[in-house]
Amino acid sequence: MPRLIVTIVVIIVAAFILIPQAFFTVDETQLAIVTRFGEFQRDYRSPGLYVKQPFVENVVKMDSRLLRVDAQPASLLTSDKRNLVIDAYARYRIVDPLVFFQRLQTETQAVSRVSDIVNSQLRREVALDTQSEVISETREQVMRRIADASNRSEITRQQALDLFNNNLRDPRLTVIITELTPEGTATRGRPPTNEELDALQREARPEVMGNATAGYFQPLVDELGIEIVDVRIKRADFPTEIEQSVFARMRAERARIAEGLRAEGTQRDREIRAEVDRDVQIILETANGTAARLRGEAEQEAINILAEALEKAPEFYEFRRSLEAYVKIVDGQSLIVLELDSDLFKYLQSEGVIGEDGEYVGG
């Protein structure tokens, strides 16, 4: 009985020791490689339960998710000779676990290498862009170019011929032509023409290239086993020592623009007011002219009517005018002295009537 108990205990202990050494799991967020005495044996890229030789083989697991690398902020010089402090980060993933293990081994070393690559490409790209391009809407294109360049690893022409079977047209090989300006600065790289590519296939420095140089690049995944998925600029600021002077210039520039807009608005206000005043004056003058013309026509019509009335009954008109004069000068309280031959006295000294023909007939 004690011997049986000892045997069971030994089996349980052995199982606890052997099972973890013989089996291992890979979940959906991991990649794994199996090594034997440090040499690669096989890799596993899908989740599951797997078997290995106990004590002889070791398992190295890696994260298959997107990993983030924050590059150190750096002061970079743009093409228009302006300094910018740029803070960027990159996201990468492990694509080939074997190459990653052979070249980088750990994620810590991968962070350092990716940071160096991104900083180098960031410095090169910013040197070809102006300050406004880095901080404006075109920043997206700048970041895309940095990510594309970061996914390429430069090699020599001979290495390119050896790796790609003497075929510079291999789709996995990237050839970039860089030309020099008259000032001696490098321009943004471009793909080679068919003529240039044929010439590069024959010799390293063909005459057709002139002062241009050719760069040869293999995919970064072939060298390090990783793919840089994205590069983002978190901020692009002016250096601290010139920040205040830059802000002062910006404020002065905005004040100048605002002053110009105000002056333009004032000028436009004066022009509009002058136009309105002129229109009002024209309307008033037209209205006054029309009113004067209508008054003149009305007075002319009144004179005509009055003349016709005088021709028909002049005595009646004289009598009516005399009555109007009486209303104004006779108020029952005043003493009026008139000469006997006065026209006003004529209708007061005797009674009379107005005949059918409008003539006054005295009594």
| pLDDT digit string, tens, across residues 242-282 | 666 767 777 888 899 999 999 999 999 999 999 999 999 99
Check residue 335 and give its pLDDT. 73
Check residue 211 and give its pLDDT. 80
pLDDT digits (tens, 9 = 90+) for 165-184: 888 888 898 888 888 777 77
Do residue 43 and residue 174 come from a single domain?
A: no
Please list, in sequence order, all residues whose beta carbon lies within 8 angstroms of the beta carbon of residue 237, skipping any fewer than 6 positions away. Answer: 84, 85, 243
Distance between CA 227 and CA 151 in Å, rounded? 6
Integer-rounded Cα radius of gyration of the chain: 54
pLDDT digits (tens, 9 = 90+) for 339-349: 666 666 666 65
Check residue 262 and give its pLDDT. 92
Residue 250 in domain? no
Do residue 110 and residue 183 come from a single domain?
A: yes
Do residue 232 and residue 351 come from a single domain?
A: no
Check residue 287 and give its pLDDT. 92
What are the strands of the beta sheet with 39-44, ordered from one edge? 39-44, 30-36, 57-63
Range of the domain at 55: 16-64
Do residue 45 and residue 184 come from a single domain?
A: no
Do residue 96 and residue 159 come from a single domain?
A: yes
The answer to whether the predicted template modeling score (pTM) of the entire model surpasses 0.75 is no
Q: How many domains does the chain have?
A: 3
DSSP classification of residue 192: P
Q: How confident is the model at residue 14 (pLDDT cuts 50, 70, 90)?
A: low
CA of residue 290 relative to chain centroid, distance: 58
Mean pLDDT for the chain overall: 81
CATH of the domain at 94: 3.30.479.30
Asked if pLDDT for residue 206 goes beyond 60, the answer is: yes
Residue with token string 């599951």: 48
Check residue 276 and give its pLDDT. 92
Residue 11 in domain? no
Do residue 154 and residue 186 come from a single domain?
A: yes
Asked if pLDDT for residue 319 goes beyond 80, the answer is: no
Do residue 224 and residue 90 come from a single domain?
A: yes
Q: Which residue has the higher pLDDT, 1 or 292?
A: 292
Do residue 83 and residue 31 come from a single domain?
A: no
Do residue 324 and residue 351 come from a single domain?
A: yes
Domain boundary at 184, 204, 237, which? 237
